[in-house]
Amino acid sequence: MTAQFENSHPALWLDPKAAVGITEREQLAAAGLQLLPVTTLDDLRQGLAKARLVVIRLMGDVGLLQEVKKLTQSFGHDVPVLCRVDQGELSLGVEAMRRGAYHVLPSNDWSVDSWREALALTPKRAEVKQRNPQTFVFVDPNSQHLLELARRVAQTEVSALVVGPTGAGKEVLARVLHDASPRRNGPFVALNCAALPEHLIEDLLFGHEKGAFTGALKEHRGLFEQAHGGTIFLDEIAEMPYHLQTKLLRVLQERKITRLGGNGSVELDVRLVAATNKDLREAINNREFREDLYFRISAFKLTILPLRERPGDVLPLATQFLEKFGPADRQIQLTATAIERLQHYSWPGNVRELQNVIQRALVLSNGDLITENELMFDEIEQRHATQTLPASTQSHLMQYGPREVSEAHQLNGSAIGDLSTAVKSSEYQVIMAAIQSTRNRNEAAKKLGISPRSLRYKMAQFREMGMTANAATNSMNGMIGMNGMHGMAAA
């Protein structure tokens, strides 16, 4: 039986020259991927609201990709674009990746496994494209110690390995190493090894000569050459294909590179900084990572702690994000209770999650102060908080509708229970205010800075906690009548 995709991924298929065949559509539909054919850019524009992905076929150049990217960006969000190219047109695929394609597949490859790989890689590319530059703060004693080590390492030419959880700021620390080094005036070139299809990584890293393969109409300088005189940063290096690890090791040992299709070698003057969120020793034991490469890249290891283990950085980071994303004409500040909530949260998503929380709070706030009511945390922590609520607290909440819970919180904070419960009830009030003001699920989610799916999830949580009575039910019923949102309150 054909393996099923984990989720449904509706995709708009744009190919002005030829339509996708019925057989291929049925094969992918059986695996959970729905292709919706469109023939013009106008048709594509109308379907973008539904699309998780856009698939286009490139022939000869990347002009169609540029038109589609312009369209998706004007639409308000970066819909991933997957490009299909004819066999032998590797250079066209490389150019497409440079111009913003999230993945490239050969046009004659309709295997379920290839599409599964493409869809698995697409969110990673989207994450890289959409995230804002992170800021690293060195206020906590643990961070100050890390900064001192980084400055010492920066003055040497040894390779450095940055280890830490996702979202902690590994690339930012790599930039600190570069900026504090004698190479600071040279280029800083970064590559996420997990964000690219395997068949393009080698060409992007090491380059090719003109005529090296069909479609190679001109030479291409790889990222190592582009980083000459500076620093190359390889993020998620544990995801690099095993056979390319061998070539990378040779480049680091010989400090020169041979392009694909070339006879001579090119001398390199590059400092390597690599990063990973995995245990490379375990990867070595599992024969997923070369031990000799590990020793080559880890002459000095710098470990970034999770944000929860450097609490002194939380408030300075939050302040920087307020200044960065807040209005230019006035200063937004945090109340004492908001600060307390930020400092007591566990931050499973690290610095990236803190940035998201501050951005949402700025959207929700109406004045110059952000209170704990405007702090909305990511689903993973909210799920954990809901599951660990004391039974007495849950029982207390079940006795009241949203208005009574809010009034009880205002009159007697101890009646609510712990801080997590108070925040949950405040979050409910904010969400209901957004729903009542927009009367539209997508608009409400947009105003809150979360996805429609997250909004459905949160409403289901509130229902399970007995917080969707009276006003909530009436409001949801009104939205069902207007928008057909039958699954929102009971998703």
Q: Quote the longest CA-to-CA distance of the chain.
A: 80
The answer on pLDDT for 236 being more than 90 is yes
Cα atoms in the Cβ-side hemisphere of radius 13 Å centred on 229: 5
pLDDT of 491: 31
Residue carrying the six token digits 């102060």: 369
Long-range contacts of 252-257 (CB under 8 A, 24+ apart): 252/159, 252/293, 252/296, 252/297, 253/296, 257/206, 257/207, 257/222, 257/224, 257/225
Kindly indicate whether the domain formed by 141-305 is annotated with CATH number 3.40.50.300: yes
pLDDT of 386: 40
Which fold does the domain 11-129 belong to in CATH?
Rossmann fold (3.40.50)
The answer on pLDDT for 469 being more than 60 is no
307-374 in CATH: which number? 1.10.8.60
Residue carrying the six token digits 């280029």: 187
Q: How far is CA 463 from CA 121, 192, 212, 454, 457, in A?
A: 35, 41, 61, 14, 10
Amino acid at 1: M
Average pLDDT, integer, range 429-457: 76
Rounded to 5 degrees, φ, ψ at 271 are: -105, 130
The model's confidence at residue 290, banded by pLDDT at 50, 70 and 90, is very high
* E strands, 347-479, in order: 369-370
pLDDT of 246: 92
Question: Could you give the percent of the chain with pLDDT greater than 90?
Answer: 27
> Is the whole model's pTM more than 0.95, yes or no?
no
Q: Could you tell me the two tokens for 391?
A: 């039974």
Average pLDDT, integer, range 476-484: 39
Amino acid at 88: G
Number of H helices, E strands in the chain: 23, 14
CA 117 to chain centre: 17
> In degrees, to the nearest 5, what angle opens at C-alpha 470 toward C-alphas 429 and 431?
20
The answer on pLDDT for 249 being more than 90 is yes
| Domain spans of the chain, in order of start | 11-129, 141-305, 307-374, 376-491
Residue carrying the six token digits 């609490």: 311
Same fold, 11-129 and 141-305: yes
Q: Which residue has the higher pLDDT, 390 or 12?
A: 12
CA 174 to chain centre: 19
CA neighbor of 376 nearest in space, from 400, 403, 353: 353
**212: Cβ contacts below 8 Å, ≥ 6 apart:** 259, 260, 261, 262
* Spatial separation of the C-alpha atoms in residues 117 and 279, rounded to whole Å: 23
* Spatial separation of the C-alpha atoms in residues 224 and 270, rounded to whole Å: 7
The answer on pLDDT for 29 being more than 80 is no
pLDDT of 124: 45
Rg for the chain, CA atoms, rounded: 25
* Spatial separation of the C-alpha atoms in residues 77 and 206, rounded to whole Å: 32
pLDDT of 392: 36
β-pairing, 266-267 vs 256-257, is antiparallel
Is residue 481 classed exposed, middle or buried when 0-12, 13-18 and 19+ CB atoms within 10 A define those classes? exposed
Average pLDDT, integer, range 219-243: 90
Instruction: Say if CB 205 and CB 223 are below 8 A apart.
Output: yes
